[in-house]
Structure 1
Amino acid sequence: MNIRTQACLLFPLILLAACEQATSAASPAKDSAPAMVPAQATPAAVAPIQSGAAPSASVPTAEPDIAKSFQKDMAYSDLRKKLLAESWLPLRDPKCWENVGGKAEVCNYLPEVESCSADGYCKMRFAHRELGLRIQVGTYGPYNQENTVGSGSATSVRFWSFRKLDTAAAAACPSRDFDQFLSKFASDTSLARTFTAPVVKVVELLSDGEGDRPRPVYMQAADYSGFKVRYADGGFHYVDGEGAVDASPLRLKVSKESQDKRLVRYGLNMSEGNSYRFENTNGCWLLTEDPEAPAP
């Protein structure tokens, strides 16, 4: 067989092998796993989100009426004023100073700050206990006082999202009689946490160049540590900031504000004291407010 005849016979075989290789590359073998592609959410899994709302893995809560006045890129100072006018309060994060870093002065004049980045992005939180809702607002821009709590407009709203507040844990009421309830509440920190409202209204003290003035905020029950009373050995005692229980008895004054409200107050000296408001909710008492600002 001459060389020309061999070439003619080999050429179709080469073409056939090339076609088989191309087919193998385009079609996976029966035993091989299919190629992975990003999963696409079905229409039923996509929750309706208003323009400007932050994307979330969980289904967002239906927005209250106040959200109708929100717009993406509106001035944060305007949105803040709207919330405060409708009885929303800043939701204080005690880790704000740690989250922001440095002096974190923004945590003083903006109690709603959760965190801020050096390049101007911040996350703010407010709550409305009666509506059972909280809101997180994302902003961008200078977070100085003029553009956040003043009349400036350089800080803009980038997104917002509403979520339901946590609900009080279901537990047997220790006593419907308030005096007995208070003794049990003050003797067991775990019980006290259970019968503290999901958010506690706290009056904190703002100290700045304009002096000292009280300011109401909300704190989540898990973050609240302001109840400084312990019941032990048949009496109430003061608990200091380090957790030490004073051996001296602490005299409490309980005022009946209404059938379902009690105000508990104590005084340590001429300038220091505190008070707590309890409300009868769903058949048992809850600590709902810490209404007295600390002494400067």
Structure 2
Amino acid sequence: MIEDCLNLRQTKIYDYEYNDDGKKEAILNKKETMIAQQKQDAIKEAFQNWIWNDPSRRKRLVEVYNSQFNSIRPREYHGEHLTFPGMNPEINLRSHQKDAVAHVLYGNNVLLAHVVGAGKTFSMVAACMELKRLGLAQKSMFVVPNHLVEQWGTEFLQLYPSANILVASKRDFQKDRRKRLFSRIATGDFDAVIVGHSQFEKIPMSIERQAKTITDEIETITKGIQDLKASNGANFTIKQLEKTKKNLKTRLEKLNKTDRKDDLITFEELGVDHLFVDEAHYYKNRAKRCRTR
């Protein structure tokens, strides 16, 4: 429960039963869960009292927090000066959308965590076209939920009627048509390519890039294990990291033995130099969800 409190999670208690197929199923125990969460509330309250009851402790912890976590102000981006040549003259972006475009242009990796209905689609499309116009990107790819692929294409052309875009359908990613599609993407001078989430995951990544990614993960985990051992970290955590490291090494060995049977163009060869991901939270657990990225 303390670990859940520290990670801002609510404790949940499950009972386990076997179904007719012999598979183990987890069933939420509502009564025990409610009791556990009440105990969590008591732990949180006791922790707050512990912090604030001693003035010297409170002062020291506030100073530590401000020094380590409250000392950096994120940069603000303003886009009122942007002009958007080629945009539909009947459409005017709102101030926060222009600021979002400026963030994409002047920032590095960008997360537009706007509420539903705030116009993220137009913000991303405008950013894409400005990146192309300014020479900051030559070919962008939009990865969107499968059921929204055509809608994205429609709204893209609504904002920029003269844009040259490729909207890839599910049919285009069928095995017998995939090679031709990848060739079109690689050789076409498109302003943007729009694909669905599941379609994106079918685009192969080069063996070299996959191997480098896994190798980097192994190095990071190795350093983490060394640091934990040096600081007498928990044995359980060390064992978990060593298990993860072993699994990664197994994946790397299999990858090095891979003999690709087809001659599909890899993602690196498509010419895509900027990636926009709609509903990006689907990809937050990279190790589990994004094996091909």
TM-score by length of structure 1 reads 0.21
Structure ranking higher in strand proportion: 1
Higher relative contact order (CA 8 A, sep 6+): 2
- Give the TM-score taking structure 2 as reference length: 0.21
Structure number, greater radius of gyration: 1
